[in-house]
Structure 1
Amino acid sequence: MSSKKRSKLYTATVATSVLAASALVITPAQAESISFKDVTSSNSHVEAITNLANKGLIKGFTDGTYKPGKALTRGQAAVIFAKALNLDTKNVNDPGFKDVPKTHDYYGAIAALAQANIINGYEDDTFKMNKTITRGQLAKFIAVGLDIKASNNENLPFTDVEGNAYVKALYDHDITKGTSNTKFSPNAPVTRGQAATFIYKALQTKENVDVNTFDLTIMHSNDTHGRVEMAPKRATAVKEVRAKNPNALLLDAGDVNTGTLYYNEFKGQADLAFLNYMNYDAMTFGNHEFDAGSTPVGHQALVDFIKDSNFPFVSSNVDFSKDTKFTGLFSDLISSDPANGKIYSGIVKEINGEKVGIFGLTTEETKAISSPGSIAFENYIEEAEKAVKAFEGLGVDKIIALSHLGYDDSAAVDNDLTLAQTVEGIDVIVGGHTHTQLTEPVAVTKNTKGDAKETTLIVQAYQYSDYLGTLDVSFDENGVVVAYDGELLKLADYADDVKALELLKPYKEKVDAVQNNLIDATTSEALVNPRISDEGNTSGVSVRKNETALGNLITDGMLIKAKKYTDKEVIMAFTNGGGIRAAIDQGPITVGEVITVLPFGNTIALMDVTGKELKAAFEISVGKYPEENGGFLHVAGAKVEFDSSKPAGSRVVNISYKDASGNYVNLEDSKTYTVATNAFTAKGGDGYDVLGTAYKEGRVTDLGLSDWENLAEHLTSIGSINPTTEGRIVDIATK
């Protein structure tokens, strides 16, 4: 990781494993307390052997000897090193080595080191615990486990380990020397005496680090939206970070759900397989986790997702109590012993003897932009303050907010910047929702009590599993952030994890089978789905503020379908731009492309609304123009004219629709009309309270027809698509 921001607060040299190592400080008095009859004062390894034996890291034989010249096995080395790092050897995941039975004395140590990504096995899924460990293998054990890095860019003098970062790290700190001036002999066996000196010197190196700081590494993801095919690369990046920092936290800030065929086919279970595989520590809920609330089965898929997880969820401002599907899953408490597959207000993780608190927040906008049903969302500031107070009551002074509020989203509702500026005691905000690419942490420093200042770090890792976010943060003895460094690891640059690829295979085969089916329609040019932020978009056109050919095709299909399901005259159809999520490439169109355009599983609904209510809705649609607005309405069967030079709320100049004769007729405020839209918008999504009122009053009929299937049917009915816009939505101020 780069160190470009390491000295932002003050210079500190730190490593994740400091506390584990510092617990093994050896005093001269201790060094005199144990001796072995075959390890005399003239033995070059006497100091190391005596010190490590006194700390209980190594043992002699029943005859009072140590046998320093006897070769050390890989299994014996694992036991010594697991003790040196204070690893938990009881609560471990099975590493899957077929030659290490769970009943073996070495199993716990080997599993703990494998879980921490300090060791690995052979290609045949064995560990070979009885095989002699080599100098090269032990060098890796030590460098990775104790996070020892090279101190300069000079070349090694050894010709047989050129470019070996592990040997270089140990050589730079005088932990090891070569077997000659030019040879390290990485494949030579290591004796018990040599191993003792290796490890003892390494621990002494760590004792020189400033032990008054606690150092934490956080890996984070957000808004992955069903991009399961990137998971094997993310798994590789995670393993590499853990190899350097075995106790690093791995957190997700929500919106795993919706966006690709993987979600449509597996309802989050494909994503979950990889979250479990990567050993995530905690996740909070994004707004899209609640998208299925309006379906006949409600949030059952989310419940299954939670129950099947190998980690807990944190959620401080979401009230699940009125949805019986969550009964028994949710606890409105801070837990120091959280169970997997449960939801807590917050959890306490113990890392290297230090307590770290993690709590979750989800944007209150979820009730408007998703389908949470009876699930309620509470004020984020109030709930964050409660969480911090609860952590402090437990003696926790290092606190992380796992947030799906958005970095700089509407301050009138909630966002991370306001959270950092308002609530005392939060050290790190791991964020999501706005898909913000924070290439380095943002430090918000504010006055707290008196002249004291407090720093809160905000991080967010963009979207779609393009990056894995990393943050190294150091705390002083009072839990105050004193140093930090962070970056986004570009996952496209990583190789796929082999085991993760195998895990992906059955999911991908099913998705490919569906995705590659053609729908018997071809487009003469790409059906684009522009956003202002798109690279190369110089036109200023966006699906969230302008008419597009794709939006026209979607709404045309909705209008045609809706007319078949009622005897009433359906005058128009409209859909929100925020629900149109992807483009369609030029050429033959596949099922996968259509689903990716409309991934949210929406259905078509009929509404009876007045002309006045429709005008109010379109005022909301163009109210933020020229800014992007997920609620911007694409329309079929009608023309909307507005004047962006006028204040929001009074911009609509005229709305007209085609009558039975094909002539455009202006809306009348007092007249009631039947229109078609998607069920999400009909229920008031994206802030359309005026439509939500009609829904509550029983003026909406959900036809239960899939929006993406309807689009596929409509495109097929046309066959040859020639994309066009028709002036359906016009800003007269720019005419």
Structure 2
Amino acid sequence: MNYQNRFYRKVLSVVASAALLASVAVPAVAAKEKHVSPDKPFELTIMHTNDTHAHLDTVAKRVSAIKQVRGESANSLLLDAGDVFSGTLYFNEYEGLADLEFMNLVGYDAMTFGNHEFDKGTATLANFVKDAKFPFVSANVDVKKDKNLKKYAKNKYASKPKDGEIYKGIVKEINGEKVGIFGLTTAETVEISSPGEDVKFTDYIEEAKAAVEAFEKQGINKIIALTHIGLNDGGGDNDLTLAEAVDGIDVIVGGHTHVQLNAPLVVEAGKEPTVIVQANEYGKFLGTLDVTFDKKGKVTEYAGKLLDVNGYPEDLEAAQILNTKYKPAVDEMKKTVIGKTTVDLVGGNPAARTGETNLGNLITDGMLAKAKTINPNTVIAVQNGGGIRTSVSAGDITLAKVLEVMPFGNSLGIMQLKGAEIKEALEHSVSLAPKANGAFLQVSGLKFEYNSSLPSGQRVVSVEVKEDGVNYVSLDANKTYTVATNTFTAKGGDGYTVFAKAYNEGRVSEPGFVDWEIFTEYVQSQDQKTVSPAVEGRIVGIAN
């Protein structure tokens, strides 16, 4: 069966588009099918990944999915929207080169840089670039003065790109049709990663306009933006703004915000529509977009889907490489002792879901410390108790145990919230008390009292914030506070609609650091890598 026929093509109303986004606010967006033009259409299948973050345990299934889709598509591209680096022990051990072997094996056509590609500086990134069997694109990242990357930087739009080189954009010729691909990387990288002073980030809107103009001057009318700026990120750049501000972009293949777009979005703000896709995170899905262009390069029809890689068998070659070359060392690393605790660290169900625990305090203290390095104005951190899966016995703390406590790999989000919104979140936290609730928040930088005998929504009787890091003062309902949490919660997970509203309004930035790494770093920063957290009265229930 032809691959494209596997998509159920349907008309999507604006209402359906809103439901698809799970309450992500999308201004000037309409998701609807176009009717195919009889004028010599060109059909293209775009496979895409983003924010894989070194999650390689399912990579053999991803390889299998890619091979199947490619085998059933006459014209195809395979693109990655960045953040291959950081997130699991595979990166800690191999610094991206394990991921690269599989990307080379399956034949990616291009990749843009994510912010995490710069986490270990440009020397590590240069090793990744030089061994790649595909080119890199990023129009707004200038590396020509960086000592490690300048030898690979071409600073142009290339009609004949070479593997292992960095371009503003490239031209891919597919069965006689030319497609322009340019890249964009979030300017937040300067604050949330380590690119160094010689890597410069320029205005993404102006660079996108220049890219479209450069391709159109070559007679290219099918243009793809491969971006790592986020769908609706609050950090200052995002795909929705890009689509509205720059005419001539046909497709945006995005990353950074880990959004699970189960079907494409379409922004119709200019002369032609722009289709936007993003494939969640951690290699869970292979994104697919079937798009039809008329002879003028206008999108006339599209259909997209995320393919769950767990529905595919492992590619035998990829599985053998993973299991013999890379996995054994990672399994050994899990035995690594990252620190010690002099007391039992209490988590799990029901402890972390019913009251303050010392492990909850330790996790949120680490989260707050990390957030302060990114935004010094951060004064509060909150962690859903359902994300603290188990306890840790006194003694050595191993990486394996840390991953057992925090198995989801949730990343850091930094929110701008009014005091009234913080109180609303705390009300939700204790709405089911004294019953166990995964939404119950562990906290740092604040303390509160609640009375579970009062009606839900009216239980929080006092909230104080440690604004200066030392002294508690009463929460001001009208004041804006900077609050750290994980992005699961920030996007409305566990019923936090108040956080989801902030996210949808662009009041959440996503620096992307992973919870277990933040925790490990915090423990290792303590004297002799030893912790002794206690319950401090941050959360007090006063019901009779």
TM-score range (shorter-chain normalised) is 0.5 to 0.7
Distance 1:306 1:527 in 2: 44
TM-score by length of 2: 0.67
CA RMSD of aligned residues (A): 4.3
Match of 2:306 among 473, 488, 494: 488
Note the 1:271-290 alignment, pairs <5 A: 271-290=99-118
- The offset of 1:708, in angstroms, is 5.1
Distance 1:501 1:264 in 2: 20
SS in 2 for 1:303: helix
SS in 2 for 1:388: helix
Q: In the alignment, what sits opposite 1:291?
A: 119
Q: In the alignment, what sits opposite 1:395?
A: 219
- Distance of aligned partners of 1:500 and 1:364 in 2 relative to their CA distance in 1, 3 Å threshold: same
- Distance of aligned partners of 1:556 and 1:318 in 2 relative to their CA distance in 1, 3 Å threshold: closer
Distance 1:619 1:491 in 2: 32
Q: In the alignment, what sits opposite 2:296?
A: 478
SS in 2 for 1:299: helix
Q: In the alignment, what sits opposite 2:398?
A: 590
Q: In the alignment, what sits opposite 2:348?
A: 526
Note the 1:74-473 alignment, pairs <5 A: 212-292=40-120, 298-374=121-197, 375-410=199-234, 413-448=236-271, 454-473=272-291
Distance 1:529 1:307 in 2: 49
Question: What stretches of structure 2 of length at least 5 have no aligned partner?
Answer: 12-31, 370-377, 426-441, 450-462, 474-507, 510-519
- The offset of 1:243, in angstroms, is 1.1
- Distance of aligned partners of 1:524 and 1:413 in 2 relative to their CA distance in 1, 3 Å threshold: closer
- Distance of aligned partners of 1:423 and 1:527 in 2 relative to their CA distance in 1, 3 Å threshold: farther
- The offset of 1:520, in angstroms, is 6.8
Distance 2:81 2:415 in 1: 33
- The offset of 1:368, in angstroms, is 2.2
Distance 1:624 1:369 in 2: 28
- The offset of 1:325, in angstroms, is 1.3
Q: In the alignment, what sits opposite 1:672?
A: none
- Distance of aligned partners of 1:433 and 1:587 in 2 relative to their CA distance in 1, 3 Å threshold: same
Distance 1:220 1:706 in 2: 32
- Distance of aligned partners of 1:510 and 1:421 in 2 relative to their CA distance in 1, 3 Å threshold: same
Distance 1:271 1:502 in 2: 14
Question: What stretches of structure 1 of length at least 5 have no aligned partner?
Answer: 14-209, 293-297, 449-453, 531-538, 561-572, 601-617, 629-633, 643-650, 659-663, 667-685, 688-704, 731-735
Q: Partner letter of residue 416 of structure 1?
A: D
SS in 2 for 1:443: strand
- The offset of 1:369, in angstroms, is 2.1
- Distance of aligned partners of 1:527 and 1:213 in 2 relative to their CA distance in 1, 3 Å threshold: same
SS in 2 for 1:357: strand
- Distance of aligned partners of 1:213 and 1:558 in 2 relative to their CA distance in 1, 3 Å threshold: closer
- The offset of 1:372, in angstroms, is 2.1
1:552 is aligned to 2:322: no
SS in 1 for 2:125: helix
Distance 1:478 1:328 in 2: 37
Q: Check conservation: 1:219, 1:251, Cα contact below 8 A.
A: yes
SS in 2 for 1:355: strand
Q: Partner letter of residue 424 of structure 1?
A: D
Q: Which has the higher contact order (CA 8 A, sep 6+)?
A: 2
Match of 1:515 among 334, 356, 365: 334
- The offset of 1:656, in angstroms, is 6.9
- The offset of 1:492, in angstroms, is 1.6
Q: In the alignment, what sits opposite 1:605?
A: none
Distance 2:104 2:219 in 1: 30
Q: Check conservation: 1:400, 1:430, Cα contact below 8 A.
A: yes
Q: Check conservation: 1:250, 1:279, Cα contact below 8 A.
A: yes
Q: Check conservation: 1:554, 1:711, Cα contact below 8 A.
A: no
Instruction: Determine what percentage of the aligned residue pairs are the same residue.
Output: 45
- Distance of aligned partners of 1:585 and 1:499 in 2 relative to their CA distance in 1, 3 Å threshold: farther
Distance 2:299 2:363 in 1: 51
Q: Check conservation: 1:441, 1:486, Cα contact below 8 A.
A: yes
Q: Aligned residues, how many?
A: 423
- Distance of aligned partners of 1:371 and 1:438 in 2 relative to their CA distance in 1, 3 Å threshold: same
Match of 2:8 among 4, 11, 16: 4
- Distance of aligned partners of 1:444 and 1:323 in 2 relative to their CA distance in 1, 3 Å threshold: same
- Distance of aligned partners of 1:654 and 1:465 in 2 relative to their CA distance in 1, 3 Å threshold: closer
- The offset of 1:555, in angstroms, is 7.0
- The offset of 1:463, in angstroms, is 0.8
- The offset of 1:548, in angstroms, is 7.8
Distance 1:291 1:576 in 2: 23
- The offset of 1:414, in angstroms, is 1.3
Q: In the alignment, what sits opposite 1:727?
A: 538
Q: Check conservation: 2:523, 2:531, Cα contact below 8 A.
A: no
Q: Check conservation: 1:528, 1:583, Cα contact below 8 A.
A: no
- Distance of aligned partners of 1:211 and 1:592 in 2 relative to their CA distance in 1, 3 Å threshold: farther
- The offset of 1:725, in angstroms, is 6.8
Q: Partner letter of residue 215 of structure 1?
A: E
Distance 1:442 1:665 in 2: 45
SS in 2 for 1:331: coil
Q: Deviations over 1:496-553 (max 9, x none)?
A: 11111111122110000111456676645339999xxxxxxxx9x9xxxx99854621
- The offset of 1:285, in angstroms, is 0.8
Q: Deviations over 1:366-396 (max 9, x none)?
A: 2222222212211111000000000011111
Q: Deviations over 1:153-178 (max 9, x none)?
A: xxxxxxxxxxxxxxxxxxxxxxxxxx
- Distance of aligned partners of 1:246 and 1:274 in 2 relative to their CA distance in 1, 3 Å threshold: farther
Q: Partner letter of residue 277 of structure 1?
A: L
SS in 1 for 2:319: helix
Distance 1:354 1:424 in 2: 21
Q: Partner letter of residue 360 of structure 1?
A: G
Q: Check conservation: 1:527, 1:586, Cα contact below 8 A.
A: no
Q: Check conservation: 2:364, 2:382, Cα contact below 8 A.
A: no
Distance 2:330 2:189 in 1: 29
Q: Check conservation: 2:140, 2:203, Cα contact below 8 A.
A: yes
TM-score by length of 1: 0.51
- Distance of aligned partners of 1:625 and 1:507 in 2 relative to their CA distance in 1, 3 Å threshold: farther
Q: Deviations over 1:150-207 (max 9, x none)?
A: xxxxxxxxxxxxxxxxxxxxxxxxxxxxxxxxxxxxxxxxxxxxxxxxxxxxxxxxxx
SS in 2 for 1:469: strand
Q: In the alignment, what sits opposite 1:164?
A: none
- Distance of aligned partners of 1:524 and 1:227 in 2 relative to their CA distance in 1, 3 Å threshold: same
Q: Deviations over 1:9-41 (max 9, x none)?
A: 44449xxxxxxxxxxxxxxxxxxxxxxxxxxxx
- Distance of aligned partners of 1:261 and 1:653 in 2 relative to their CA distance in 1, 3 Å threshold: closer
